[in-house]
Amino acid sequence: MPPRYSSNDIDILLRIVDQAFDHKSWHGTNLRGSVRGLTAAEASIRPGTGRHNIWEIVVHAAYWKYAVRRRLTGEKRGSFPLDGSNWFKRPTELSVQAWKEDIRLLVGMHETMREAISSLGPADLEKIPHGSRTTTWDIIAGIAAHDLYHAGQIQIIKRFFR
């Protein structure tokens, strides 16, 4: 039986992940574009009691890029630069510098996740990584969907204050 996936499929996944994050595509604003030009004050606006602000969404997206990389590489937990998991209270310091640092965290986590995807072979796409219930293919496609979901969420939040 021939392999289900080829190296071309890895290239396709990389393109999908990049379009959802920071490359031009037909669907409109991607995750990186959704936060471009936002000030720290705007990113910290909470759209409602108990709701996450844009800043928290950015760090949440960075965390899940880290989690995907970890699943793809088998890396152990604990290497994310912030303490905790999933959602992180932000801002801890309302400053331009702190906002830029968290944007750099998001970009950096995307880059290292992308490197992990690039290092995969076609057979890896069919595997179910340790700690997961779905295939590597689905995890990678899922992180692209995650980016687009939160890009749309950010676009809606921005309408509240603009």
Q: Is residue 112 part of a domain?
A: yes
Residue ranges making up the domain that contains 136:
7-161
Q: Is residue 130 part of a domain?
A: yes
pLDDT digits over 3-50, tens only?
687 889 999 999 999 999 999 988 889 999 999 999 999 999 999 999
Q: Is residue 2 part of a domain?
A: no
CATH number, residue 104: 1.20.120.450
Please say if the pLDDT value at position 1 is more than 70.
no
Q: Is residue 1 part of a domain?
A: no
User: Which pLDDT score, from 0 to 100, does residue 6 have?
Assistant: 83
Q: Write out 98-131 in H/E/C secondary structure.
A: HHHHHHHHHHHHHHHHHHHHHCCCHHHHHCCCCC
pTM as predicted: 0.94
Q: How many domains does the chain have?
A: 1
3-state secondary structure of 134: coil
User: Which pLDDT score, from 0 to 100, does residue 2 have?
Assistant: 57
Q: How far is CA 67 from CA 5, 144, 161, in A?
A: 23, 13, 31
Structure tokens belonging to residue 125: 């796409």
Q: Is residue 61 part of a domain?
A: yes
pLDDT digits over 99-156, tens only?
999 999 999 999 999 999 999 999 999 999 988 899 999 999 999 999 999 999 999 9
